[in-house]
Structure 1
Amino acid sequence: MWSDWPVTSPVDPSSPADRTVTPGDTADDPETLRRIAVEVARDAGRLVARRRPEVFGPRGAAADAVQSKSTRTDPVTVVDTEAEHRVRELLRTYRPDDDVLGEEGGGAVRAPSGVRWVVDPIDGTVNFLYGLPAYAVSVAAQVNGTSVAGAVEDVVGRRTYAAARGGGAWVSEDGGDWVRLSVTDVDDVSMALVATGFGYGAARRRRQGEVVSGLLPRVRDLRRVGSAALDLCMVAAGQVDAHFEHGLSPWDWAAGALVAAEAGAVVRTPSPHSRSSDGEVTVAASPGVAAAFSALLDELGALDPIAEDPAR
């Protein structure tokens, strides 16, 4: 079912005012957590931007810079590991008593009763590896498994997306003023521009291809950017009308889904303790097409999980 995140947020339209976050700040209000998420995501984004030309120079990747994870086509780089280490280091400074769940370093599988930070040091690692300008650092704070604050740092675009629950969704270009985000007002699903992504296992990809084959003639077009966090922020920014993808882990959607919801999208996410192998679907859509888009996905069997390949 759709999440309980609001379609619209009853907030003051004024821009959030950033202040310097202080180490050991124990306040659990979403706005404080948002400021920390922004600070941490921007810092890690600067590291990622600096390290790419150092590690992936004109002669290609340095030795041992890239390894494989779930499949040979699912890479992790030394910069992913370095960026997550930096995020964890900063979070220990700002919030030493909080749990952290990261894509590379792991963490608590079940959401704790307190604050849990959910981190993807580079969302869009394949893009990062190839030098395609669509990868991001994603940092979110969850309470009882629900995202209450988050930031997504578009590393190449030097653009920060951020949200606090009940406070709207915002974007800052190159550290400048915050501008409020709002989803599109499209009301015809046949005119919806839809973003999606694919898994790494052959069987899941085959099923995802079948879904795309059924969907493509019935929407405006599809986009495959290669970063779920940025896809969700694109829904928030009105750059696409909807996003869906099977097999996202919490670090893929924890920040971006909140940004989309706070911008007015109708959002469905997997359970907070799910993993990519479960194959649950994540959906975000502008409210004018959300019901029709959900019905279309249901007709195609795409609201059901697409589990990971049973054997690899």
Structure 2
Amino acid sequence: MSTNPKHLHAASEEAGTRAGQDAALPRELLAVAREAAAAGAAVLAERGRGRVATDTKSADGDWVTDFDRRAETAVREVIAAARPNDAISGEEYGRTDPASPSGYRWSIDPLDGTANFVRGIVYYCTSVAVFGPLGDAAEQKALAPAAAKQKPGASAGHTLAADGAAMDAGTHAWLAAAINAPALGTEYYAAAGDGAWLVDSTQPTGSVAGRGGRAMRAQRLHGAHKDAEGKLLATGFGYDADRRQFQVGALLGLMPSFANVRRIGSAALDLCLVADGTLDGYAEYGTQEFDWAAGALIVAETGLPVLRPRTDPGWQAAGHLDFDALPSEQAEATVVKPAKQVKK
């Protein structure tokens, strides 16, 4: 695989350090992201006991539920109300382009960890992130007419390769992200240049006077120490048998640097757990943009290295691991067949 250093976008790059960037913009977008993620999580919080009814998508175990659909609708409604000219890409309802595109695109996963959700395992969440151009308010106003002339689907950075190229050029970045895990009582979020943060409702910092409630304070995240002992690596596996075989082989190549591995079942939360230092690294092949969009920014804002895929499928990785050790999937397709014998 390519190990171009430009594929690694750390916190300083996420912040978009070009002179004159409007620092308020990522914070404004973050407010929308947090509200949208909370709206999706509120739908997921309606889950009762027992197993949830499912429909099968691509393969056995690749499920979708009514909660997925309703949560995505809730997320979309919040974004559309606050940012009517932004594009939205979601797992369940695809991409929606406005008539006058702003150049910003939201990537949402209404329920990351659906299999966990179905079976009552608490590691699931709503994930929301936004990608778009950098620059100050005046520059964005100047860009608006050009963006409005673009055809739907033609806005800058709408493919993995284009996103990466735009980030390398310093014109675009992932600007804000929020991940809300209702069963865990946690919310992770980040705005470019403002660090990564965790609000944990299970860890109150004091009482709310006169209300009988509890006050919660956001905790800034810094990831695990690079030289920590007993490192844990998180990963995930696809539904296709050949893909899983490749992923297992790649995992074996990474394990000498780690004491053990965890398979939590939510790429978004894997990344969050790298950001808060619970896990030391994460690597998975073949995830979709909505799986990693928010979590990758959250990790990057801790200062840890992040690898985003430039191709689909590709590697998404973060934390303290050797990105050079991630193999190309071409090895999966390499099959050596015995030579045919020619009868004499």
Distance 1:230 1:248, change over 3 A: same
> Using the alignment, how far apart are the partners of 2:255 and 2:89 within structure 1?
35
Q: Secondary structure at the match of 1:141?
A: strand
Give, in angstroms, the shift of residue 305 of structure 1. Answer: 4.1
> Using the alignment, how far apart are the partners of 1:10 and 1:205 within structure 2?
32
- What is the percentage of aligned positions where both structures have the same residue? 38
Kindly provide the CA deviation profile for residues 178-231 of structure 1, in whole angstroms up to 9, marking residues without a partner as x.
Answer: 11000112237x843111111111110111112223333442111110000001
Distance 1:213 1:5, change over 3 A: closer
1:95 aligns with 2:83: yes
Equivalent pairs counted in the alignment come to 268
Residue of structure 2 equivalent to 1:223: 262
From 141, 148, 171, give the equivalent of 2:198: 171
From 216, 221, 231, give the equivalent of 1:181: 221
> Using the alignment, how far apart are the partners of 1:226 and 1:138 within structure 2?
14
From 63, 66, 78, give the equivalent of 2:54: 66
Q: What residue identity is the alignment partner of 1:171? A: L
> Using the alignment, how far apart are the partners of 1:137 and 1:308 within structure 2?
32
TM-score when scaled to structure 2? Answer: 0.72
> Using the alignment, how far apart are the partners of 1:79 and 1:135 within structure 2?
12
Residue of structure 2 equivalent to 1:86: 74
> Using the alignment, how far apart are the partners of 1:191 and 1:220 within structure 2?
5
> Using the alignment, how far apart are the partners of 1:140 and 1:160 within structure 2?
14
1:294 aligns with 2:283: no
From 247, 251, 274, give the equivalent of 1:212: 251
Distance 1:71 1:157, change over 3 A: same
Residue of structure 2 equivalent to 1:21: none
1:158 aligns with 2:197: no
When the two chains are superposed, the root-mean-square deviation of aligned CA atoms in Å is 2.6
Distance 1:149 1:95, change over 3 A: same
Kindly provide the CA deviation profile for residues 27-53 of structure 1, in whole angstroms up to 9, marking residues without a partner as x.
Answer: 981111111111111121011111x21
Please give the residue correspondences for 1:113-128 in structure 2 after superposition, counting only pairs within 5 Å: 114-128=103-117
> Using the alignment, how far apart are the partners of 1:279 and 1:209 within structure 2?
16
Distance 1:88 1:167, change over 3 A: same
> Using the alignment, how far apart are the partners of 1:212 and 1:6 within structure 2?
24
Residue of structure 1 equivalent to 2:240: 201
Residue of structure 2 equivalent to 1:16: none
* 2:14–2:297 CA contact under 8 A, matched in 1: no
Give, in angstroms, the shift of residue 6 of structure 1. Answer: 2.5
From 35, 40, 64, give the equivalent of 1:76: 64
* 2:130–2:175 CA contact under 8 A, matched in 1: yes
Q: Secondary structure at the match of 1:89?
A: helix
From 227, 232, 236, give the equivalent of 2:275: 236
From 19, 44, 48, give the equivalent of 1:48: 44
Residue of structure 1 equivalent to 2:32: 36
Q: Secondary structure at the match of 1:101?
A: strand
Of structures 1 and 2, the larger Rg is shown by 2
* 2:14–2:301 CA contact under 8 A, matched in 1: no
> Using the alignment, how far apart are the partners of 1:152 and 1:307 within structure 2?
34
Distance 1:215 1:308, change over 3 A: closer
> Using the alignment, how far apart are the partners of 1:157 and 1:113 within structure 2?
35
Q: What residue identity is the alignment partner of 2:40? A: A
1:130 aligns with 2:119: yes
Q: What residue identity is the alignment partner of 1:118? A: S
Residue of structure 1 equivalent to 2:204: none
* 1:44–1:83 CA contact under 8 A, matched in 2: yes
Give, in angstroms, the shift of residue 10 of structure 1. Answer: 11
Q: Secondary structure at the match of 2:108?
A: strand
When structure 1 is superposed on structure 2, of 113-122 and 158-167 the one drifting more is: 113-122
> Using the alignment, how far apart are the partners of 1:211 and 1:85 within structure 2?
37
* 1:268–1:283 CA contact under 8 A, matched in 2: yes
* 1:232–1:260 CA contact under 8 A, matched in 2: yes
> Using the alignment, how far apart are the partners of 2:8 and 2:102 within structure 1?
19
Q: What residue identity is the alignment partner of 2:91? A: E
Please give the residue correspondences for 1:18-37 in structure 2 after superposition, counting only pairs within 5 Å: 29-37=25-33
Distance 1:307 1:140, change over 3 A: farther
Residue of structure 2 equivalent to 1:15: none
Q: Secondary structure at the match of 1:107?
A: strand
Give, in angstroms, the shift of residue 108 of structure 1. Answer: 5.8
Distance 1:198 1:307, change over 3 A: farther
Q: Secondary structure at the match of 1:187?
A: coil
Distance 1:8 1:184, change over 3 A: farther
Distance 1:151 1:307, change over 3 A: farther
